[in-house]
Structure 1
Amino acid sequence: MTVKEAKKIIKEGENFYTEFKRKFSTHEKIAKEIIAFANSNGGKLFFGVDDDGSIVGVESEKESAYLISQSASEYCEPAVELSISVIELYGKDIVIAEIPESQVKPHRIQDYKSQINYNTAKVFIRMNSKCVQASKEMIKFLYTSYRDFEE
């Protein structure tokens, strides 16, 4: 992603495809956002950007990129493929995770169970500019839609 593209997206604010994070919180919270984008139409997570679009930067771009990557690979089931870039804006580094729409839905928080349990699976989707837990019906829809598409 270019600096020009990043500035344009930040100016537009959070929406169905864009989420701002001031800083990295926990692996599970970041995994929820990654999962929501992967289970929906894809999107971008900006770290080092406040909800109002102001640039605060990240303390360590390498550590942030590692923690995001770790959240996608170890806390998402199945793991989510994403790309990470670091951009300097106004003298501060921001980290951007670009998550494509997944072809292996539904993704969920890693719970080390081999089968989806529709009653307890932590599956997330995007609704407007928010990450929300999917209903049992939505989980079944995501699961069967992908399986029908595959066959």
Structure 2
Amino acid sequence: MLTKEDILSITRSGEGYNAEFKSRVPNKLKELSEEICAFANAAGGVLLLGIDDNNNIIGASIDNTKLSAIQNSLNEINPHLPTELYKVEVDGKDVWVIEVNSGKQKPYALSGAIYVRQGPNSQKLTTVEQMRDFFQQSDRIYFDEAPCAEFDLREDIDHEWFEEFRIEAKLSKVRIELVEQVGSGISRMRDAMIRAELPEPDFKTEGMFTIIFKRSKSSGKSSGKSSGTDWEEIKNMLQKKSQRKLSKNSLKILEMVFHSSEVTIPEMAKKLKITERAIEKNIQKLKENQLLEREESNRAGYWRLLIDLES
């Protein structure tokens, strides 16, 4: 079960491959079951009820009738999927957790449809054949990795041979026993990088799971500022140029770009404590307002404030 600290860490990291947020129980309970089905067909995950679009903990109230209806909806996933549904109090507010591990009997289907996790979103497939093709093309199903339900670890393993293998592979007994909860490692890595004042790592979830760590470095790219120009002066120029009133978040985004042209969208979201989608919407408005642009590619580019320092 997740603790209060686990939930705070996950909400700071935002939605992703292993986490989905809902501000309340949706009118169509099938929406919850679709997300859980997708997690089971991927690497598992958690769905948190009581978290708004800006990653704020607002709490959710679920009575026994609604609780029973949610459980009935989850039971419609086929084959049967064990899930945990429970409540955790965080800062005086109730956050409801639906937790599921990666399923052992993939693929799982809901009302005849199959759902899989693609990055931070869930995707619907329509046939079992498509699901099997998806897993095979993603290098996630191998014949020799299929679980053997009849295997008994205590009785069927040759401990002498296993010990010989462990020594040859140079694996410590402690390392073998390290099994962490799904999703918690990603959150802890992000938190550790933030504490070290380093850029957040990138997590690639398509195909082979990959983590990219980035150095903390300064770049020669210009963000649109010049030496001797402070942020207040730049902010006044941007507000005068803007065709509409700039929101508080938009100004914060522009200020972050002013200080670092290579700031990333995840870093912006973390700083402002809102979702990456909300950041992207603000950036789109700033681009339409001709205040901000992106140079080069999104992977290796940088931001530039559109202001005329000579005028």
Category of TM-score, reference length = shorter chain: 0.7 to 0.9
**Counterpart amino acid of residue 132 in structure 1:** Q
Partner of 1:16: 17
| Aligned pairs (5 A) from 1:84-95 | 84-95=85-96
TM-score using structure 2 length: 0.41
Q: Which has the higher contact order (CA 8 A, sep 6+)?
A: 1
Unaligned runs of 5+ in 1: 111-120
Does the aligned pair in 2 maintain the 1:105–1:142 contact within 8 Å? Answer: no
Computing the radius of gyration over CA atoms, which structure comes out larger, 1 or 2?
Answer: 2
**Counterpart amino acid of residue 87 in structure 1:** V
SS at match of 1:123: strand
TM-score using structure 1 length: 0.80
1:27 to 1:79, Cα distance in 2 relative to 1, 3 A: farther
Distance 1:65 1:141 in 2: 35
| Aligned pairs (5 A) from 1:63-74 | 63=65, 65-73=67-75
Does the aligned pair in 1 maintain the 2:33–2:77 contact within 8 Å? Answer: yes
Distance 1:146 1:66 in 2: 37
State the superposition RMSD in angstroms: 2.5
Partner of 1:56: 58
Unaligned runs of 5+ in 2: 149-311
The number of aligned residues is 140
Does the aligned pair in 1 maintain the 2:104–2:147 contact within 8 Å? Answer: no
Post-superposition Cα deviations, 1:78-113, rounded to whole Å, max 9, x if no partner, equal 122111221112221010111100011111113xxx
Distance 1:143 1:91 in 2: 42
1:20 to 1:31, Cα distance in 2 relative to 1, 3 A: same
**Counterpart amino acid of residue 35 in structure 2:** E
Partner of 1:134: 125
1:23 to 1:132, Cα distance in 2 relative to 1, 3 A: same
**Counterpart amino acid of residue 87 in structure 2:** V
Post-superposition Cα deviations, 1:15-66, rounded to whole Å, max 9, x if no partner, equal 0000001111122111110100000000000011112211121122645543
Distance 2:143 2:30 in 1: 26
Partner of 2:253: none
- Whose strand proportion is higher, 1 or 2? 1
Does the aligned pair in 2 maintain the 1:82–1:97 contact within 8 Å? Answer: yes
**Counterpart amino acid of residue 129 in structure 1:** P
> Does 2:82 correspond to 1:81?
yes
1:8 to 1:150, Cα distance in 2 relative to 1, 3 A: closer
SS at match of 2:74: helix
Partner of 2:202: none
Does the aligned pair in 2 maintain the 1:105–1:143 contact within 8 Å? Answer: no
Does the aligned pair in 2 maintain the 1:64–1:95 contact within 8 Å? Answer: no
Does the aligned pair in 1 maintain the 2:113–2:126 contact within 8 Å? Answer: no
Identity among equivalent pairs (%): 25
